[in-house]
Structure 1
Amino acid sequence: MMILKDILYKVPLLAVVGSTGVSINNIVFDSRKVSKNDVFVAIKGTVVDGHDFIQTAIDQGCAAVVCENTPDKLTENVVYVEVTNTSSALAIMASNFYGVPSANLKLVGVTGTNGKTTIATLLYQLFKNAGYKVGLLSTVKIMVDDYEFKTSHTTPDSLTINKYLKQMNDAGVEFCFMEVSSHGIHQKRTEGLDFKGGVFTNLSHDHLDYHSSFAEYRDVKKAFFDGLSKDAFAVVNADDKNGMVMLQNSVAKKHTYALKSYADYKAHILENQFTGLLLKINDSEVWTRLIGSFNAYNVLAIYATAELLGLEKVEILRLISELKSVSGRFQYIISKEKITAIVDYAHTPDALKNVLETINSIRTKNEELITVVGCGGDRDRTKRPKMGHIASALSTKVVFTSDNPRTENPDEIVKEVEAGVEPQNYKKTVSITDRKQAIKAACQMANPNDIILIAGKGHETYQDINGERIDFDDLKIVQELLKQLEK
């Protein structure tokens, strides 16, 4: 148990009815999970407003309510705390409740449209290989040193974040790397966290179903850097025009990385093959098994972050050479027939363009590049024709298909993707809504030495169709289908 006054430390209060000296068992923001002596935080969500469930929480025994609008009818012996923003209050309360765990380790946030998972995961891998106890909060999984937990959001809710950070404290974790999504920043899930550093990758077309404009999306990302302390570092991609925007109001120590521009951390690609990259970082050469120019940026961000966290340059280069690719990010297999199948999470126009340009820069042009791609339902519709345009312009053949249609009609999504294909590329494309059949068609089209790219889902092992998650793993399916063709 904890005293409410201590949980509310550093939360700006507008009004209090009752005594903040009451003992509290837990902090809860879902009224269905309230138990006796909990504090219920009423969050205004995009679909549901927690203020509508204050009475339900009280009926279930909560001792206190934190809200933005104090109800007209007050219940005796219940403490009411009014604040400006309950999402922000929840984040600070969660940190206090778990003993401000982010202050007891070196927490680095990675934000941007593409590359977050790769950079956070590879930093976890690099520091583990260096002999440290490390934590990871990513889209794919949460790691408390060696213990793995599954996750469903890029940035979990603030209670979950602090719960895992406390577990990391208990396990003696020294460094933690965390993906920070625009949703997470906007919903104040990262407020109250003590970040030792922030990394900005890039900004491109994504999440405009959630953010009203690209400018809002950019400014939400910028808010993360605005919130860093003067003791933290900010390292940004100077080749992205938004990189310097992130640093404008930040009081953190500012650093840049780039392949094309002047920067503190500069890299040149010396060799680019399907087996990996040979890079020159500042004055040193390093070989990495990661593939493509987009991974050159990721490696550079990792190098900069590791050095800013105190690792020696020579050791960082050795550790980079040992890194293994992240699940669903440019994962590839080669069949007995010498057909290369690549599975990649590329689900934004920019990411798809990066992957296709990478493949085109490596291949000899004697092979076909067959791309299987779709777009998710209930998400930003404006990117669909762009995905169709990029896939058809940069591939020799394209199969448009279903991704995670969610509650939308997959045939309609495919039509919107097809709308971006220019007339000269019509003959390259075919549409097969069933994703397995689309992958099968690509395998049947492929001849020895051809390349198949299956884009959009990467590490995901399901398809989301009308609220139901159906088992679906692109890598496993293409492996099976290529094996069948060998018979």
Structure 2
Amino acid sequence: MKLLQDILYKIKLLEVHGSTNVPVAALCIDSRKVEKNSAFIAIKGTVVDGHTFIAAAINKGAAIIVAEELPENKVEGVTYIKVANSHEAAAYMAHYFYDCPSEKLKLVGVTGTNGKTTVATLLYKLFSALGYSCGLISTVENKIQQTVIPASLTTPDAISLNALLHKMVNENCTHAFMECSSIAIHQHRITGLNFTGALFTNITLDHLDYHKTFEAYLKAKKSFFDNLPETAFAISNKDDKRGEVMLQNTKAKKYYYSLKTSADFKGKILDDSLTGLQMQINNTDVHFRLIGEFNAYNLLAVYGAAVCLHEEPTKVLTTLSGLTGAEGRFDYIISNKNVIGIVDYAHTPDALENVLTTLKKLKKDYQNIITVVGCGGDRDKTKRPLMAQAACDYSNKAIFTSDNPRTENPMDILADMEKGLTTAAKKKYIVIPDRRNAIEQAVKLANEGDIILIAGKGHEKYQEINGVKHPFDDKEVLNHFFNL
């Protein structure tokens, strides 16, 4: 148990009412989880404002209230602290409450629109195979060594995140690899963490429902690198047009990877097929089990990080060559009729185009591509017609269906997808709102050797409809209709 005064470092305190020489049993941002002598931090969320639950938190035993706005009527014996930013306060308090766990690990963060999960997962698998005890924080799952902890967010809230890192330290982990989403960066969930290194994959349209403008989205990603210490390394994709901009203000040591120009970590694709990638990396030839140009970039990023972490390059490449990617990222299934099924998380226009252009380039002339795709509800609407157009442009047949409609009417989402399609595209798609029926129809349409891409949900084991998560697994459904 910590004293409040010992976990308030680096926080801009505007007002303090009561004693800071009091014990803190737990940190909470959810009033329902408050216990006796907790510190309740009131955070203004996108949907719920924690300030409305201050009284409820006190009734449950909170002895400390940290908020941007304090109530007029204060309860005797409760310490109230007014701060400039509750998100930031939660991050710093959690950092110190859990004994600064990120300072006891080699922590590497990965940000970018696409590739975060694959890069973080490959780093975890690579360093585990090299003999280290590792932790993973990703969209698919969190892991402490081999123990799986289900993930609900790409990047957990600051308190959960520091608690997880603390547990990794206690379990003797030496390395931790984590995804850093733009929303998490903007909401200070990673503020106060000590990063050994950071990676940038790429940036395209995403999360504009939250950030509102692409410039704000870019700024959020860039701030991750702007705040790195001099002791850290920063690795960026030189082939992305904003790859160098991302690192222009960082104090960390800069490195770049590229397939197209000179770089610290230079790659060249020698052969790309449905059985894997043959690449040359810094003049060494190596075969990987992953496929596609987008994975060539992911592999370069992972290789670069390993070298920056002082691992022997040849050993890194040898170990990396035997690894598979993350669940729901180009997951490969072959039916007993030799139809190829691929389940992928691609949920942005750029990610979908990357997967489809790779398939189009690798397939034989007789093979058709059938794409099943939808768009999430209550999210950026501008990408819906772009996703639909990409599916039609690079597929022989597209089936538009429901993704996670959340609180939106699925038919409205599908109507948005159909807006602005070219005349050629309109001849290539059909609409089947029920996702299970859409996958079944794709299997019925496929001939021997054809490729079915089920895009958008990847590793997810549910479909969210009107606030309820119904069990649904694209891979399981595809296996069923493949009679596997």
Provide TM-score, normalisation by structure 2.
0.98
Which residue does the alignment assign to 2:188?
188
What residue in structure 2 maps to residue 265 of structure 1? 265
Query: Residue in 2 aligned with 1:240?
Result: 240
Distance in 2, matches of 1:380 and 1:455, equals: 17
Give me the whole-angstrom Cα distance separating, in 1, the residues matched to 2:344 and 2:450. 17
Q: C-alpha offsets along residues 374-403 of structure 1, whole Å, 9 cap, x if unaligned?
A: 111111111000011111111111111111
Q: What's the counterpart of residue 415 of structure 2?
A: 415
Give the CA deviation at 1:332: 1.2
* Contact 1:88-1:191 at 8 Å conserved across structures: yes
User: 2:394 aligns to what?
Assistant: 394
Separation of aligned partners in 2, 1:381 and 1:456? 15
CA distance in 2, matches of 1:420, 1:331: 31
1:345 aligns to 2:367 (yes or no): no
Residue 263 of structure 2: SS of its match in structure 1? coil
Aligned: 1:301 with 2:301: yes
- TM-fit CA distance, 1:74: 2.3
Q: Which amino acid aligns with 1:128?
A: S
1:106 counterpart residue number: 106
Q: CA deviation at 1:320?
A: 1.0
Aligned mates of 1:386, 1:27 — CA distance in 2: 42
Q: Secondary structure at the match of 1:65?
A: strand
Deviation at 1:465, TM superposition (A): 1.3
Runs of 4+ in 1 over 6 A off after TM superposition: none
Counterpart CA distance in 1 for 2:276 and 2:238 is 24
* In structure 2, C-alpha distance between the alignment counterparts of 1:34 and 1:429, rounded to whole Å: 51
Offset, 1:207 = 0.6
Residue 428 (structure 1) shift: 1.4
Aligned to 2:9: 9
1:320-359 equivalent positions in 2, closer than 5 A: 320-359=320-359
Q: Is 2:115 the counterpart of 1:153?
A: no
Q: Is the 8 A contact 1:258 1:266 kept in 2?
A: yes
Secondary structure (helix, strand or coil) at the match of 1:210 reads helix
The 3-state SS of whatever aligns with 1:300 is helix
Q: Distance in 1 between matches of 2:44 and 2:274?
A: 48
Structure-2 residue corresponding to 1:460: 460
Shift in Å, 1:468 = 1.6
Gaps of 5+ in 2: none
Identity %: 52
The letter of the residue matching 2:77 is N
Q: Secondary structure at the match of 1:421?
A: coil
Q: Name the SS of the counterpart of 2:478 in structure 1.
A: helix
Counterpart of 1:404? 404
8 Å contact from structure 1 (residues 286, 320) kept in 2: no
What is the Cα deviation at residue 302 of structure 1?
A: 0.3
Tell me which amino acid in the other structure corresponds to 1:63: A
1:201-258 CA distances to partner (integer Å, 9 max, x unpaired)?
A: 0111111111110000000011111111000011011111111121121101111111
Q: Contact 2:198–2:234 at 8 Å: present in 1 too? A: yes
> Could you tell me whether the CA contact under 8 Å between 1:42 and 1:49 is conserved in 2?
yes
Measured against aligned partners, the alpha-carbon deviations of 1:423-445 in whole angstroms (never above 9, x if no partner) come to: 02222111111111111111111
Question: In the alignment, which residue of structure 2 is the partner of 1:317?
Answer: 317
- How far residue 81 of structure 1 moved from its aligned partner, in angstroms, is 1.4
Counterpart-to-counterpart distance in 2, 1:117 and 1:257: 18
Supply the AA of the counterpart residue of 1:191: T
Output the CA distance in 2 between the equivalents of 1:333 and 1:33. Answer: 42
Q: Counterpart amino acid of 1:169?
A: V
| Alignment RMSD (CA, Å) | 1.2
Q: Distance in 1 between matches of 2:252 and 2:345?
A: 32
Unaligned 5+ residue runs, structure 1? Answer: none
Match of 1:424 in 2: 424
Distance 2:258 2:326 in 1: 22
2-structure distance, mates of 1:165, 1:303: 24
Amino acid at match of 2:417: V
Give the conservation status (yes or no) of the 8 Å contact 1:387–1:420: no
CA distance in 2, matches of 1:367, 1:146: 39
Count of equivalent residues: 484
Q: In 1, distance between residues paired with 2:420 and 2:280?
A: 38
2:437 is aligned with 1:437:
yes
What's the TM-score, normalizing by structure 1?
Answer: 0.97
**Residue 333 of structure 2 aligns to a residue in which SS?**
strand
Q: Kindly indicate whether residue 367 of structure 2 is the aligned counterpart of residue 367 of structure 1.
A: yes
Equivalent residue letter for 1:73: N
1:109 Cα deviation from its structure 2 partner: 0.4
Whether the 8 Å contact between 1:384 and 1:420 is mirrored in structure 2 is: no
Q: Please say if residues 335 and 483 of structure 1, whose CA atoms lie closer than 8 Å, have aligned partners that are also in contact.
A: yes
Q: Return the alpha-carbon distance in structure 2 between the equivalents of residues 33 and 354 of structure 1.
A: 42
Whether the 8 Å CA contact 1:101–1:169 is kept in 2: the answer is yes
The Cα of 1:33 is off from its aligned counterpart by: 2.2
Query: Does 1:84 find its partner at 2:84?
Result: yes
TM-superposed deviation, 1:335: 1.6
Separation of aligned partners in 1, 2:167 and 2:53: 31
CA offsets 1:318-337 (integer angstroms, 9 cap, x no match): 11111112211111111222
The secondary structure found in structure 2 opposite 1:209 is: helix
Contact 1:371 1:453 in 2 (8 A): yes
Deviation at 1:421, TM superposition (A): 2.3
Instruction: Give the Cα separation in 2 of the matches to 1:116 and 1:351.
Output: 12
Match of 1:129 in 2: 129
1:90 to partner: Cα distance: 0.5
The amino acid of 2:40's aligned partner reads: F
Alignment deviations for residues 156-195 of structure 1 (CA, whole Å, 9 cap, x no partner): 0111111111111111101100000011111110011100
Q: Which amino acid aligns with 2:38?
A: D
1:228–1:250 Cα contact (<8 Å) kept? yes
Q: CA deviation at 1:132?
A: 0.5
Correspondence for 2:479 = 479
Q: Secondary structure at the match of 2:16?
A: strand
